[in-house]
Amino acid sequence: MLRRRAVHDRRDGAPAAAAIVVEDLHRRYGDVEAVAGLSFSVRRGEIFALLGPNGAGKTTTIEILEGYRRRSAGTVRVLGTDPERGGRALRERIGIVLQAAGLDDELTVRETVELYASCYATPRALPELLGEVDLEDRRDRRVLHLSGGERRRLDLALALVGDPELVFLDEPTTGLDPAARRRAWGTIAGLRRAGRAIVLTSHYMDEVQQLADRVLVMARGRAVATGSPAALRAGRGRPTTIAFQLPDGATLPPDLAMLLRPGARACAEGEAAIGLCTDEPTRVLHRLTGWALAQGFELRGLSVVEPSLEDVYLELTEEPEAVLHGS
């Protein structure tokens, strides 16, 4: 099992509320400002998702946090240290899963993990680590013969081999089948329970919605939204859609018909459902089902669809000047 990290600053033993603190971060490339005044913090024991379209500045931000890129201005503290000056001492305290890692195809899984473990003073035990990422039965298989999903799980093992306090996960479940994705989610949630801070980047909005405690959405180098996934979904004011099909010849009563989403109509058998858009789904659903029962028919395909994080993300990144702060 993961050793639980005490939430303290190693330098003086004082309680440390944040693993990462970023204040007014800037990074310029000539006349281009890739990051423009970004501020946020990441608590220990928290999964923090950093989202944004290509060119938003998130990769530059992550590289600054990891200590691989210099900032132009602003203040950054990672585990209480300026990452530009943290050196090896800081890097031993963080783990990184890159989008694509260059591994030696001729080494076995065991040899690869042992090679990385040799770089740490107190690495995690090999059997425990391989068990956590479900690679125990692949320990003697060469990297060359691993599937894409198995390679991704090996990437995660290498990020965890040093028992890090802070983990950067860049698209950690790319290439995994649905069952393997769910297992990876369990591993990531376990890191949070063990007190690690996790910075997640992903294009899978269901993954972010499932895992993240807080989300920061970037566009054009700036933060356009911060908050929990639930707060971001609620804060945009998007209505809930109640979708269903009507029997042939049935017509909605006027008070429900006025809630039809644009272009919706009563559908014939096999066609897509119509939808009622409302900010009061409980009341409208009660009225709809009561009416259907009174008429003596079933509403085929009845479902209640709340706004998703993906819907909100697409709206936010299409409106880069809008700012929303969730709780």
Does residue 316 sit in the same domain as residue 264? no
- Answer yes or no: do 302 and 204 share one domain: no
Do 29 and 67 lie in a common domain?
Answer: yes
Q: Is residue 211 part of a domain?
A: yes
Read off the pLDDT band of 247 (50, 70, 90): confident
- Classify residue 182: in a domain, yes or no: no
pLDDT band (50, 70, 90) for residue 315:
confident
Q: What is the pLDDT of residues 198-226, one digit of tens each?
A: 999 998 999 999 999 999 999 999 999 99
Residue 244: which domain range? 239-306
Rounded distance between C-alpha atoms, residue 238 and residue 222, angstroms:
23
Q: What percent of the chain has pLDDT over 90?
A: 53
Instruction: Identify whether 298 is part of a domain.
Output: yes
- pLDDT at residue number 43: 95
CATH of the domain at 32: 3.40.50.300
pLDDT at 281 over 70: yes
Please tell me the pTM assigned to this model. Answer: 0.79
Inside any domain, residue 57? yes
pLDDT exceeding 70 applies to what percent of the chain? Answer: 88
For residue 164, what are the CA distances in angstroms to 89, 122, 168?
Answer: 12, 11, 10
| Confidence check: pLDDT of 4 > 90 | no
The reply to whether 70 and 12 lie within a common domain is: yes
167 domain residue, yes or no: no
* 28 lies in the same domain as 55: yes
Exposure of 208 in the CB half-sphere (CA atoms within 13 A): 30
Burial 83-107 (b: 16+ CB within 10 A, else e): beebeeebbbbbbbbeeeeebeeee
- Distance separating alpha carbons of residues 26 and 24, to the nearest angstrom: 7
| Statement to judge: residues 62 and 44 lie in one domain | yes
Examine the pLDDT at 144 and tell me if it is beyond 80: yes
Q: What would the pLDDT profile of 6-37 be if each residue is shown by its tens digit?
A: 544 443 443 447 999 999 999 999 999 999 99
**55 found inside a domain:** yes
* Count of domains forming the chain: 2
